[in-house]
């Protein structure tokens, strides 16, 4: 069905129908609803090229990923949430993969020049992120999943990583643990730096000295976590508790604990950060896993909504959201063993 056919069926001009479908304020609500309902019932879909000419928009949002480093389960969950929300608005996600940081910057310049997307979702920011400066210079709308400090206003959504890890560390201290290991994300990433701040603050508040041998920074994988935990458990005195940066990390730590002949929840405690993977449920692990919990899929959904709000005219100064993180205690945490 063409726009002309839909307009004739409704007894309205093509201009009125087009404006109603695209949300122009001069079309009253009753007419807008009648047009939308009839279009849905008759299966009308606007021509993408015509829609771009009419609105100046491409109907797509961009995301640039750097190789295997970022194509993991966390991104899959984030994209599931983001894509589901965008699909309700018939907006596509254009994913570009690159091999290096320089290639990523070049990709943003190319995307901006091509005008293939209406906005960008920027993820995994650093404390001072040059990509944010570049996108502002390119004058392309974007929402940052995380935070950065470039001295300029940007739109962002983040979770309270500092508060989450501070609470987790404090809980372990309350249980009598003093040798607490933190397996964190990559150094320089904002979320990892914020988590380290929370960890150090909790130790300092109790007068517990920080031991750099109990800190590890890496990508969140089972194998890397296993090797970190294995080497830490060989220390004397060994750690009696771990804070794992993700559920994938927790799997590696758990493997190292078992290999050392120790029992999780008795000899060694653990709290993991849970992004709520549908295939890795903390309640179904044995023993069940204590976690700090925040759904990355819900974050993807909300980032999509914030992008839509910005494209609808909302000021970026009003798009700042910091989500609290829940601490869920289960069987993997217990009192520190007697020394």
Q: Which residues form the domain of 19?
A: 3-44
Same domain for 187 and 149, yes or no, is no
Nearest to 167 by CA among 299, 326, 288: 326
d(C-alpha 261, C-alpha 249), whole Å: 19
Same domain for 136 and 234, yes or no, is no
Looking at the structure of the chain, the number of domains it has is 3
Within-domain flag for 179: yes
CATH number at residue 25: 1.10.260.40
pLDDT of residue 135: 96
**CB atoms near residue 30 (< 10 Å):** 8
Same domain for 34 and 137, yes or no, is no
Per-residue pLDDT tens, the chain, 339 aa: give them.
Answer: 788 889 999 999 988 888 887 766 678 888 988 998 898 888 887 665 555 555 667 889 999 998 766 788 899 999 999 999 998 888 899 999 999 989 999 999 999 999 899 999 999 999 999 999 999 999 999 999 999 998 889 999 999 999 999 999 999 999 999 999 999 999 999 999 999 999 999 999 999 999 999 999 999 999 999 999 999 999 999 999 999 999 999 999 999 999 999 999 999 999 999 999 988 899 999 999 999 999 999 999 999 999 989 988 889 999 999 999 999 999 999 999 987
Burial environment of residue 62 by CB neighbours within 10 A (0 to 12, 13 to 18, 19 or more): buried
CATH number at residue 91: 3.40.50.2300
Q: pTM of this prediction? A: 0.84
Within-domain flag for 150: yes
Same domain for 124 and 179, yes or no, is no
Contacts for 244 with CB less than 8 Å, ≥ 6 apart: 183, 225, 250, 253, 270, 271, 272, 273
Q: Tell me the C-alpha to C-alpha distance, in Å, between residue 246 and each of 167, 178, 187, 216, 279.
A: 16, 22, 15, 13, 14
Within-domain flag for 122: yes
Within-domain flag for 262: yes
Same domain for 103 and 190, yes or no, is no
d(C-alpha 322, C-alpha 147), whole Å: 10
Q: Tell me the C-alpha to C-alpha distance, in Å, between residue 266 and each of 94, 215, 286, 334, 337.
A: 48, 22, 13, 6, 7
Percent of the chain with pLDDT over 90: 76
**CB atoms near residue 52 (< 10 Å):** 15
- Structure confidence by residue, pLDDT tens digits, 22-70: 766 678 888 988 998 898 888 887 665 555 555 667 889 999 998 766 7
pLDDT of residue 107: 96
């Amino acid at each position: 069905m063409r726009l002309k056919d839909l307009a004739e069926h409704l007894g309205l001009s093509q201009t009125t129908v087009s404006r109603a479908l695209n949300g122009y304020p001069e079309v009253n609500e009753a007419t807008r609803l009648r047009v939308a309902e009839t279009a849905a019932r008759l299966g009308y879909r606007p021509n993408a090229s015509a829609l771009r000419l009419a609105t100046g928009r491409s109907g797509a949002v961009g995301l640039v990923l750097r190789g295997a480093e970022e194509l993991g389960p966390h991104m899959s969950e984030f994209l599931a949430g983001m894509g589901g929300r965008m699909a309700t608005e018939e907006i596509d996600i254009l994913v570009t993969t690159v091999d290096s940081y320089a290639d990523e910057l070049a990709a943003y310049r190319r995307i901006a020049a091509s005008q293939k997307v209406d906005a960008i979702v920027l993820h995994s920011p650093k404390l001072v992120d040059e990509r944010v400066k570049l996108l502002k210079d390119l004058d392309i709308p974007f929402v940052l999943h995380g935070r950065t400090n470039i001295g300029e206003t940007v739109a962002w959504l983040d979770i309270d990583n500092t508060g989450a890890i501070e609470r987790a560390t404090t809980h372990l201290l309350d249980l009598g643990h003093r040798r607490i290991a933190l397996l964190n994300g990559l150094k320089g990433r904002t979320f990892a730096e914020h988590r380290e701040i929370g960890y150090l603050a909790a130790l300092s508040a109790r007068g517990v000295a920080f031991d750099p041998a109990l800190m590890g920074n890496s990508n969140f994988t089972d194998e890397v976590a296993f090797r970190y935990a294995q080497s830490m458990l060989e220390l004397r005195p060994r750690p009696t508790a771990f804070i794992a940066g993700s559920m994938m990390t927790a799997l590696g730590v758990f493997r190292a604990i078992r290999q050392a002949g120790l029992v999780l929840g008795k000899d060694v405690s653990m709290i993991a950060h849970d992004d709520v993977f549908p295939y890795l449920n903390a309640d179904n692990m044995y023993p069940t896993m204590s976690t700090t919990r925040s759904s990355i899929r819900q974050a993807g959904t909300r980032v999509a909504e914030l992008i839509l709000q910005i494209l609808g005219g909302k000021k970026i100064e009003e798009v700042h959201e910091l989500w609290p993180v829940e601490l869920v205690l289960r069987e993997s945490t217990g009192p520190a063993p007697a020394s």
